[in-house]
Amino acid sequence: MTPFDKKTLLKRFRAMIAKGEPIIGGGAGTGLSAKCEELGGIDLIVIYNSGRYRMAGRGSLSGMMPYGDANAIVMEMAAEVLPVVQRTPVIAGVCGTDPFRRMDVFLDDIRRIGFAGVQNFPTVGLIDGVFRKNLEETGMGYGLEVEMISLASQKGLLTTPYVFCEDDARAMAKAGADIIVCHLGLTTGGSIGAGTALQLADCPALVDSWAAAALAVKKDAIVLVHGGPVAEPADADFIMKNTKHCHGFYGASSMERLPVEIAIRDQTRAFKRIGRRQGTTDKQTTKRPRQAGKSK
């Protein structure tokens, strides 16, 4: 039994819940992100195509666009991330609606190369309106993601699917999902974050309603919150303190993009300030030459 065995992981997570310790997961778009998250004590690392786009300076929704083969990208990222992560289970973001893969075989490959589990991403759960209806009508709906999670669960992989409503939560719980992740939308904040989002104050009730739907089907399901206005540690703390059934937080942009944006910006500004005399302003730093012909 390896440290990333599903039963071992769930036992660890339930012990954390019993102690009141939040379970924290994070997305990693680079090996360095994963390495630093592990150094910070993260409990789960998730890699999927949006992580690559996000850390390339593009919005996370790039992962929902036809810019590349999502399942191929996550396998490429595995070669960068898996070798540098020593003690933390790594989850693969799997596009369950991919019509060009035999999912049974692909999930075996996921497990073989060292992933501990799967998540449903890219997900049609983020799509609404007529386009979503058409996807469902033409055999590319959320149900395929539920089937992928069910198959992964049967293969002994840890399953951590995104859900977007009570019906999704029930369906994923019925499929055997171990960790239900309540997805509240694209993360806000930073240079490429969402501007349109739920209000933080409205989120605890949503999380509890989705959690209750899942727990009614699978009483030992673990529930995490992700996205939308839950972007900073204080936001996650607010959700945890105002819900009955939330056991932790999963962050992607929150865990790697926002910290990197701030750190690189501030470090650059610090270097730009070197050599300046203490107590001077930017405009005072360089002495203007005296104009010719004028006395002091």
Which tens digit of pLDDT belongs to each residue from 66-106? 999 999 999 999 999 999 999 999 999 999 999 999 999 99
Residue count of the chain, please give it.
Answer: 296
> Please, is 72 exposed, middle or buried when counting C-beta atoms within 10 Å of its C-beta (0-12, 13-18, 19+)?
middle
HSE toward the beta carbon, residue 27, CA cutoff 13 A: 26
What's the rounded Cα separation, in Å, for the pair 195 and 203? Answer: 16
The mean pLDDT value of the chain amounts to 91
What is the pTM assigned to this prediction? 0.87
Q: What's the token pair of residue 189?
A: 């904040």
Return the pLDDT at 141: 97
Return the pLDDT at 194: 64
Return the pLDDT at 73: 97
DSSP, collapsed to helix, strand or coil, labels residue 93 as: strand
Regions of the chain with pLDDT less than 50: 1, 285-286, 288-289, 292-296
CB 62 within 8 A of CB 50: yes
Return the pLDDT at 283: 53
What's the rounded Cα separation, in Å, for the pair 225 and 174? Answer: 19
Return the pLDDT at 149: 98
Reported as type and span, the H/E element at residue 199 is none
